[in-house]
């Protein structure tokens, strides 16, 4: 693209890429001096020039101006980057039917359900915390909500690949950092708001305001879909110009869940849509998946998909690995893997585990808490497990530069009556839990789902994923070597 197509009165020079990371080699690039949480791009202009930048966008006075380089001073670099990224990548979001999902829990599940139901008739991409997928392409995830340049670049790739729609997980941090400011959304979904990301936002009010801004920025042609059962549900959309549609268990919801039945292998319920009722059956389990599915149904139906088609396609949805995934390798007890890492998410999984576990049997949980994030919730996590579980094994979960044992000890401050172990190595912790299980017990492996990485002090490291480890341990140790003794690292 020519520079004068991005900035009026700029020379007619070809810009091959736009960039906000001075370390990347980008020939003939336009560099944006973005201020991040730790670094300020203004300090690395020379590095960007050495790596190929021929023009620089900045908001502060620079120490040095190099001859032959074009400089554009603006009031807000991020606002300008949003406008330029949208232009540079051909306003890709306007060529897609865009679904954005935000909330503490359920974003990934809802986005994937919408993608799966739409795909047979309308090629749909997905950008989320688990992966980036469109057509036959499957890429590793970047951030839950990618940065501005990456996001617009991916959307453009989707358009070029023939996609007609896209689903996007919209995080509160992403909204706060203006990553979706220049993305045009047709449908925006709110799931719930619970204690999370307070290390970044500081207070629940700030967290709420970040989520709310996503809906405030919608135009009058968009549709805002909100969970009326959540205390923040109606507040979230009260200032939105978009058309508001509600869902939930409440009879006042436009899409109202009635007479639901939760089973070990699926869920059935009646969904009242305005004045008409529809029977829904699905292979998804648990009450919160019922809510996630309903949110997806609302978005699909409001976008024009007939309810009869939705009814048929949600009967057998693809099992998302590491999301309420029941694993059966021939063992005589339940094993459930889930990515739950918030207090609300954990509560819902524990409630479901209670519903499927006979009263004389145990719930054994493997869980931890991430390092360098929201330390306040650690004791709450311990307290919650203490209420529901019969055995707790505390282990690592993206410890970053904190000690896994110290994190576990902070969680343990919330444990009063339940026996617990601290086994820092996650593989060993999972093995111990599975070897402790008796017939009809339920073993929960929580926090990582099927993520193939572990955040440690040296950065992101490769990790097998909980699902793979559970299957391996069941085959290798529990089923073949039943009864083998195993040494506890520490017991209280």
In Å, how far are 25, 100, 182, 278 from 114, measured between CA atoms? Answer: 37, 11, 22, 18
129 is in an annotated binding site: no
**Topology given in CATH for the domain delimited by 91-315:** 3.40.1190
In Å, how far are 235, 272, 344, 478, 481 from 257, measured between CA atoms? Answer: 21, 6, 20, 41, 46
Residue 107 CB contacts under 8 Å (≥ 6 apart), including other chains: 101, 128, 129, 144, 169, 170, 171, 191
What pLDDT score was predicted for residue 415? 97
Q: CA-CA distance, 355 to 414, in Å (whole number)?
A: 23
| Sites in the chain below the pLDDT cut of 50 | 482-492
Instruction: Read off the pLDDT of residues 169-188 as tens digits, 9 standing for 90 and up.
Output: 999 889 999 999 999 999 99
Domain 3-88 CATH superfamily:
MurE/MurF, N-terminal domain (3.40.1390.10)
171 is in an annotated binding site: yes
17 is in an annotated binding site: no
CATH label, 325-478, candidates 3.90.190.20, 3.90.78.10, 2.130.10.30, 1.20.1560.10? 3.90.190.20
What pLDDT score was predicted for residue 287? 84
203 is in an annotated binding site: no
131 is in an annotated binding site: no
Beta bridge partners of 56: 31, 71
What pLDDT score was predicted for residue 486? 38
Would you say 128 and 169 are in contact if contact means Cβ atoms under 8 Å apart? yes
Crossing angle between the packed helical segments 343-356 and 287-302, to the nearest 10 degrees: 120
Our measurement of the distance from residue 123's CA atom to the centroid of its chain's CA atoms, rounded to an integer in Å, reads: 22
205 is in an annotated binding site: no
Percent of the chain with pLDDT over 90: 79
SS3 of residue 57 by DSSP:
strand
SS3 of residue 97 by DSSP:
strand
**406: Cα within 13 Å, side-chain hemisphere:** 8
* Residue 305 tokens, joined: 């998909």
What pLDDT score was predicted for residue 483? 46
Q: CA-CA distance, 299 to 296, in Å (whole number)?
A: 5
| DSSP assignment letter at 276 | E
Q: CA-CA distance, 226 to 33, in Å (whole number)?
A: 36
**pTM for this one?**
0.85
* Residue 424 tokens, joined: 């820092």
**135: Cα within 13 Å, side-chain hemisphere:** 11
How many other CB atoms sit within 10 Å of the CB of residue 264? 10
Any idea where the domains of the chain sit in the sequence? 3-88, 91-315, 325-478
Would you say 389 and 418 are in contact if contact means Cβ atoms under 8 Å apart? yes
Identical fold, 91-315 and 325-478: no
What pLDDT score was predicted for residue 38? 78
Q: CA-CA distance, 463 to 461, in Å (whole number)?
A: 6
Q: CA-CA distance, 412 to 429, in Å (whole number)?
A: 16
What pLDDT score was predicted for residue 195? 60
């Amino acid at each position: 693209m020519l520079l004068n197509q991005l900035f009026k009165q700029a020379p007619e020079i070809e810009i091959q890429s736009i960039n906000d990371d001075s370390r990347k080699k980008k020939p003939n690039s336009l560099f944006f001096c973005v201020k991040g949480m730790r670094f300020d791009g203004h300090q690395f202009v020379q590095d960007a020039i050495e790596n190929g930048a021929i023009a620089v966008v900045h908001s502060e006075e620079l120490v040095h101006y190099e001859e032959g380089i074009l400089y554009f001073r603006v009031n807000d670099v991020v606002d300008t980057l949003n406008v330029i990224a949208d232009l540079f990548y051909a306003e890709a979001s306007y060529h897609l039917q865009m679904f954005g999902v935000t909330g503490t829990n359920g974003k990934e599940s809802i986005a994937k359900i919408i993608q799966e139901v739409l795909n047979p008739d309308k090629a749909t991409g997905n950008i989320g915390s688990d992966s980036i997928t469109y057509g036959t392409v499957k890429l590793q995830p970047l951030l839950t909500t990618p940065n501005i340049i990456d996001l617009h670049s991916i959307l453009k790739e989707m358009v070029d690949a023939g996609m007609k729609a896209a689903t996007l997980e919209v995080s509160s941090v992403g909204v706060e950092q203006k990553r979706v400011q220049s993305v045009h959304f047709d449908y925006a979904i709110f799931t719930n708001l619970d204690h999370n990301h307070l290390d970044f936002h500081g207070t629940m009010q700030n967290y709420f305001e970040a989520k709310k801004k996503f809906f405030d920025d919608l135009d009058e042609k968009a549709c805002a879909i909100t969970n009326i059962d959540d205390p923040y549900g109606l507040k979230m959309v009260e200032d939105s110009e978009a058309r508001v549609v509600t869902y939930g268990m409440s009879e006042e919801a436009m899409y109202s869940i009635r007479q639901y039945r939760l089973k070990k292998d699926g869920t059935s319920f009646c969904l009242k849509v305005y004045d008409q009722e529809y029977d829904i059956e699905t292979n998804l389990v648990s009450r919160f998946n019922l809510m996630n599915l309903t949110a997806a149904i609302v978005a699909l139906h409001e976008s024009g998909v007939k309810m009869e088609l939705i009814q048929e396609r949600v009967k057998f949805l693809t099992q998302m690995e590491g999301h309420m995934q029941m694993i059966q390798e021939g063992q005589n007890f339940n094993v459930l893997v889930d990515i739950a890492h918030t207090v609300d998410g954990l509560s819902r999984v524990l409630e479901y585990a209670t519903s499927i576990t006979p009263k004389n049997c145990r719930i054994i949980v493997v869980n931890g808490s991430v390092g360098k994030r929201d330390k306040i919730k650690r004791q709450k996590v311990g307290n919650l497990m203490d209420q529901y579980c019969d055995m707790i094994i505390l282990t690592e979960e993206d410890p970053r530069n904190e000690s896994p044992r110290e994190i576990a000890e902070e969680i343990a401050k919330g444990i009063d009556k339940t026996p617990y172990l601290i086994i820092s190595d996650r593989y060993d912790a999972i093995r111990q839990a599975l070897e402790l299980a008796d017939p009809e017990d339920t073993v929960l492996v929580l926090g990582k789902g099927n993520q193939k990485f572990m955040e440690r002090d040296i950065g992101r490291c490769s990790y097998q994923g909980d699902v793979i480890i559970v299957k391996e341990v069941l085959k290798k140790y529990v089923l073949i070597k039943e009864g083998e003794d195993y040494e506890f690292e520490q017991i209280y």
